Amino acid sequence: MPHLKMKFSTNPSSLSVSAVLTKEQTDAESKSKKQAMEFKEYVLEKAISVNKALESAVSIKEPVKIHESMRYSLLAGGKRIRPMLCIAACELVGGVESTAMPAACAVEMIHTMSLIHDDLPCMDNDDLRRGKPTNHKIYGEDVAVLAGDALLALAFEHIATQTKGVSSDRIVRVIGELAKCIGSEGLVAGQVVDIISEGISDVDLKHLEFIHLHKTAALLEGSVVLGAILGGAPDEDVEKLRKFARCIGLLFQVVDDILDVTKSSQQLGKTAGKDLVADKVTYPKLIGIEKSREFAEELNKEAKAQLVGFDQEKAAPLFALANYIAYREN
Amino acid sequence: MPHLKMKFSTNPSSLSVSAVLTKEQTDAESKSKKQAMEFKEYVLEKAISVNKALESAVSIKEPVKIHESMRYSLLAGGKRIRPMLCIAACELVGGVESTAMPAACAVEMIHTMSLIHDDLPCMDNDDLRRGKPTNHKIYGEDVAVLAGDALLALAFEHIATQTKGVSSDRIVRVIGELAKCIGSEGLVAGQVVDIISEGISDVDLKHLEFIHLHKTAALLEGSVVLGAILGGAPDEDVEKLRKFARCIGLLFQVVDDILDVTKSSQQLGKTAGKDLVADKVTYPKLIGIEKSREFAEELNKEAKAQLVGFDQEKAAPLFALANYIAYREN
């Protein structure tokens, strides 16, 4: 994964709102409100169909305990950002929701697997996730390890057996992309370097970016790229969307770092201030809160620049998802 | 996975050798010795090419620690039974070694992943594996969990990106089969029921068979089925070979159960007598050593019956692998 070279913006935040609005500003505000409403409907609609698909992807059967454990974490009400990115990318390039749905479920299964394993006592040792006890607190460490493994395998099974209306060539490509973004050069690489870096005081920005690009951005990148490939995008468009996803992936983690030090556990639905306690290097720690916020703005802008040239109406959900990631509260 | 209905044979072991040999018996002995030599050469040759392929499948790169951890367990000198089954099945139906090699590596990666996770303190808590300290003893529990995850993902990446000369339709089918034999209805199902059953005194034969068919037979089945599909076998032959694999899979575990109570840790290269200490239900515990041996013979016979109708020369390695599994010493 190439190193992202981005300057830190010194411009004032684009979120600031002037006290007195001109006619144009009122019109823009009103258009923006309309878009926000449409996005809210979009998110609601997609979340319902994704949750329905996830619900039927893991039914209760023998052995009951492992399926309960998988469902406990998978259906714990996450924000479903990854499935939404996958579906939105597919629709952007001309595909339909049903084509992307198995892959959309797969990326959420992988995300859930990574949370279950990450929360284990031998890893982050977290008791709380999405406002509920972590998987191993309910089912035991052994079953939690296995539930993660089973979700990882199911993700591939789901894509291979449930994807319809796409050539097998594209399905094979999608499986290769997903596997790469999980493994020792993706998600796992980020987690390992994160673990190794704990307590080390001289971690620099490049090193921190490696962690975030792998630990968080890789799977967000995968989500978008999978959707684009399944939707039939030409290679050039897949690569533009890959860059978009990498930017919002890094953005996601920068915002996460900021939220960890600015919000309470109750507001986040998970233990706040953990990074500080674990002495983890974060963007706020390295460059301060304000510079972190500016960097987030810059990444959001850089991400959106990749969407120029696509049908702007169809690209609206990806624009809005980038904003959502940038300005989320938990 | 259907329940295997097999009667226990009461025939004397087919291994017993008469003191005085007739001319026919001498000829048969001599033929058998020749076959044993040929099989030894076959195993040696395949082990070399599999090890070479595994060696280059996981090279040392950044982050170094995770790749070292993956290589430590993957290249620890296992018997490579699963890759050999995969290649032998592919060659039996008319395919070539190179076509099956990425899948052969993949099944060994999955096997290694399951050993790493199974050895964790929260699971079997084993210190010794293949005569060496277990992965988490060297790299820590956190890295061991991640090394397993990375190997799981790499298995799929390897098949999706490295398989050559086969239609994408067959590659997708192979990925679906592999994923299913790992997940909550395969390998993981067996491990979960095994964990739940520890210390329960009234586990019956059907229950024990469920554990073995899932924990061990599923991946052996997958190895054979993947090879057969990649080699271009028609569905009917894939199903015959699936049944062959299921029988030798159960056979493998029955023999494992027997070895655990009859051999020393040094002979096995892993902790012996663990099943007894952990109060695990095993075949010897349920039906005694002798009946377990008879059952193993019966399974071996049932497995070989599936190979009738195939080119017998090409089927020789699978016959020999079944015998090897039945009569191995560790």
- The ipTM, to two decimals, is 0.89
Residues sharing a CB contact under 8 Å with residue B41, sequence separation 6 or more, in sequence order: none
Strand bridging mode A132-133 / A128-129: antiparallel
Which chain A residues contact residue B152 at CB under 8 A?
149, 152-153
The runs of H, that is alpha helices, within A10-63 are 23-57
Helix (H) or strand (E) holding A132: strand A132-133
From B82-96, B181-195, B274-288, the region with the lowest mean pLDDT: B274-288
* Angle at the Cα of A19 from the Cα atoms of A16 and A21, rounded to 5 degrees: 100
Q: Give A125's DSSP letter.
A: -
Chain-chain contact of A179 with B154 (C-beta, under 8 angstroms): yes
Tell me: pLDDT of B99 over 80. Answer: yes
Chain-chain contact of A142 with B160 (C-beta, under 8 angstroms): no
A-proximal residues of B, 143-162, CB under 8 Å: 143, 145-146, 148-150, 152-154, 156-157, 160-161
Question: What is the rounded CA–CA span in Å between residue B141 and residue A144?
Answer: 14
Tell me: pLDDT of B245 over 60. Answer: yes
- What's the pLDDT at B218? 97
Domain borders along chain A are 31-327
- Find the largest Cα–Cα distance for chain A: 64
Question: What is the rounded CA–CA span in Å between residue A216 and residue A190?
Answer: 8
Amino acid at B100: A
From A38-47, A195-204, B129-138, B262-271, the region with the lowest mean pLDDT: B262-271
Place of tokens 């068979």: B209
Which chain B residues contact residue A191 at CB under 8 A?
146
> pLDDT tens for residues A250-275?
999 999 999 988 877 676 666 666 66
- For chain B, give the mean pLDDT: 88
Residue A9's nearest CA partner among A234, A248, A299, A279 is A299
Query: Number of residue pairs across A and B with CB atoms under 8 Å?
Result: 160
> pLDDT tens for residues B68-78?
999 999 999 88
Burial label, B308 (beta-carbon count in 10 A; 0-12, 13-18, 19+): exposed
- What's the pLDDT at B102? 98
Nearest-CA distance B11 → chain A (Å) = 36
- What's the pLDDT at A130? 82
Residue B15's pLDDT band, with cuts at 50, 70 and 90, is very low
Region B186-213: mean pLDDT is 90
**Contact at 8 Å (CB) between B192 and A63?**
yes
Q: Which of the residues in chain A have pLDDT under 70?
A: 1-26, 28, 265, 267-278
Q: For residues B217 and A329, which has the higher predicted lDDT (pLDDT)?
A: B217
From A193-207, B120-134, B209-223, the region with the lowest mean pLDDT: A193-207
Q: Give A310's DSSP letter.
A: B
Tell me: pLDDT of B13 over 80. Answer: no
- What's the pLDDT at A5? 40
B-proximal residues of A, 105-144, CB under 8 Å: 113, 117, 120, 122-123, 140-143
Residue A85's nearest CA partner among A132, A47, A137, A140 is A47
> What is the CB neighbour count within 10 angstroms for residue A107?
29
- Backbone angle region of A5, left / alpha / beta, with phi > 0 → left and psi within -120 to 50 → alpha: beta
Q: Which two tokens stand for residue B54?
A: 């595994």
Residue B81 touches partner A, C-beta closer than 8 Å = no
At residue A204, what are phi and psi to the nearest 5 degrees? Answer: -100, 180
- What's the pLDDT at A328? 86
Q: For residues B24 and A135, which has the higher predicted lDDT (pLDDT)?
A: A135
Question: What is the rounded CA–CA span in Å between residue B112 and residue B81?
Answer: 12
Chain-chain contact of B153 with A67 (C-beta, under 8 angstroms): no
Which contacts of A31-38 are long-range, i.e. CB under 8 A and separated by 24 or more positions? A35/A316, A35/A320, A36/A320, A38/A316
Q: Which two tokens stand for residue B4?
A: 């295997």
Q: Which of A145, A154, A188 sits opposite B66 (nearest CB)?
A: A188
Q: For residues B272 and A16, which has the higher predicted lDDT (pLDDT)?
A: B272
Chain-chain contact of B152 with A157 (C-beta, under 8 angstroms): no
- What's the pLDDT at A39? 86
Q: Which two tokens stand for residue A308?
A: 């120029």
Nearest-CA distance A115 → chain B (Å) = 12
Chain-chain contact of B154 with A65 (C-beta, under 8 angstroms): no
Q: For residues A302 and B276, which has the higher predicted lDDT (pLDDT)?
A: A302
- What's the pLDDT at B9? 32
Burial label, A248 (beta-carbon count in 10 A; 0-12, 13-18, 19+): buried
CATH superfamily for domain A31-327: Farnesyl Diphosphate Synthase (1.10.600.10)
- What's the pLDDT at B270? 66
Helix (H) or strand (E) holding A90: helix A81-92
Tell me: pLDDT of B322 over 80. Answer: yes
* Strand partners of residue B308: B310
Question: What is the rounded CA–CA span in Å between residue A118 and residue A128?
Answer: 12
Question: What is the rounded CA–CA span in Å between residue A263 and residue A277?
Answer: 15
Q: Which of B70, B142, B172 sits opposite A195 (nearest CB)?
A: B142
* Angle at the Cα of B255 from the Cα atoms of B278 and B210, rounded to 5 degrees: 65
**Three-class HEC string of chain B:** CCCCCCCCCCCCCCCCCCCCCCHHHHHHHHHHHHHHHHHHHHHHHHHHHHHHHHHHHCCCCCCHHHHHHHHHHHCCCCCCHHHHHHHHHHHHCCCCHHHHHHHHHHHHHHHHHHHHHHCCCCCCCCCEECCEECHHHHHCHHHHHHHHHHHHHHHHHHHHHHCCCCCHHHHHHHHHHHHHHHCCCCHHHHHHHHHHHCCCCCCCHHHHHHHHHHHHHHHHHHHHHHHHHHCCCCHHHHHHHHHHHHHHHHHHHHHHHHHHHHCCHHHHCCCCCHHHHCCCCCHHHHHCHHHHHHHHHHHHHHHHHCCECECHHHHHHHHHHHHHHHHCCC
> What is the CB neighbour count within 10 angstroms for residue B61?
11
For residues B279, B280, B286, B292, the Cα torsion angle rounded to the nearest 10 degrees is -120
- Residue B152's Cβ-side half-sphere holds a number of Cα atoms within 13 Å equal to 36
User: How is domain B35-327 classified at the architecture level of CATH?
Assistant: Orthogonal Bundle (1.10)
- What's the pLDDT at B272? 67
